[in-house]
């Protein structure tokens, strides 16, 4: 007896609804995601058991490396530009369009005021390398406020409701941290957040 041949049929699945769903999901995540700004240096924060989260908006970030270099900035570009304008007016600085463009692309300030113009005149790749060797000084200017305090003051003028968040490396010298916090206290800035890693289990 001959074998019965079963007629094969091609199975066609319409993938159009699937591609529509994937496109909508992709757009959703792109619009709702918060992109992290690149930091001048890599900081390994110490661990803690605190779960208090830092606000996502209106935050003045203070970054301190393991070598004591201090950087300051905020994700709000309007506030950053206002801070630069305040510093420029006080210290008699002027910047060309190229320097202002470079500054607008930076997430943090990390150069002494005296070297700020030269720093902003560098190419993008050179700026990324140069900022690692600079940092904002905490030494007082002519017996008055330090450059660090001047930037914090300029940030407060740009946005009085800004939250201060300090992110230090686990190996940052205690002397640097103490000096920085003392200068904040001298400005009556007694409330700030310390950014740490959440301790996982027994460490």
In this predicted model, what pLDDT tens digit does every residue of 122-166 receive, in sequence order? Answer: 888 888 888 888 888 888 777 788 889 999 999 999 988 888 888
Given a contact cutoff of 8 angstroms between Cβ atoms, the answer to whether 101 and 77 are in contact is no
Given a contact cutoff of 8 angstroms between Cβ atoms, the answer to whether 195 and 165 are in contact is yes
First to last CA, the chain: 75
Given a contact cutoff of 8 angstroms between Cβ atoms, the answer to whether 87 and 150 are in contact is yes
Pairwise CA distance, residues 163 & 58, whole Å: 6
Residue with tokens 């900081």: 43
- State the pLDDT at residue 153: 92
pTM: 0.75
- Is 202's pLDDT higher than 60? no
Pairwise CA distance, residues 202 & 190, whole Å: 32
pLDDT digits (tens, 9 = 90+) for 41-90: 676 676 666 666 766 778 888 888 888 888 988 888 888 899 999 999 99
Q: Is residue 27 very low, low, confident or very high in pLDDT (cuts 50, 70, 90)?
A: confident
- State the pLDDT at residue 154: 92
pLDDT digits (tens, 9 = 90+) for 180-200: 889 888 888 888 887 777 666
Give Cβ neighbours of residue 197 (< 8 Å, ≥ 6 apart). 45, 46, 47, 48
Instruction: Count the Cβ atoms, other than its own, within 10 Å of residue 175.
Output: 9
- Is 170's pLDDT higher than 60? yes
- What sign has the CA pseudo-torsion 111, 117, 122, 123? positive
Tokens of 143: 């017996």
Tokens of 21: 């769903």
């Amino acid at each position: 007896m001959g074998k019965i041949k079963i007629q094969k049929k091609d199975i066609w699945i319409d993938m159009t609804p699937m591609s529509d769903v994937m496109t909508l999901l992709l757009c959703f995540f792109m619009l709702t995601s918060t992109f992290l700004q690149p930091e001048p240096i890599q900081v390994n924060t110490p661990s803690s058991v605190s779960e208090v989260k830092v606000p996502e908006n209106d935050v003045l970030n203070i970054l301190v490396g393991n070598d004591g270099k201090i950087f300051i900035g905020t994700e709000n570009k309007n506030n950053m530009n206002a801070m630069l304008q305040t510093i420029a007016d006080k210290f008699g600085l002027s910047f060309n369009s190229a320097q202002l463009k470079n500054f607008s692309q930076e997430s943090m300030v990390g150069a002494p005021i005296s070297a700020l113009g030269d720093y902003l005149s560098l190419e993008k790749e050179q700026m990324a390398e140069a900022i690692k060797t600079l940092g904002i000084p905490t030494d007082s200017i002519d017996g008055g406020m330090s450059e660090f305090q001047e930037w914090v003051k300029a940030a407060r003028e740009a946005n009085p409701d800004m939250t201060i968040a300090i992110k230090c490396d686990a190996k940052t010298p205690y002397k640097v941290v103490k000096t920085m916090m003392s200068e904040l206290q001298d400005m009556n800035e007694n409330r700030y957040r310390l950014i740490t890693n959440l301790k996982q289990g027994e460490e």
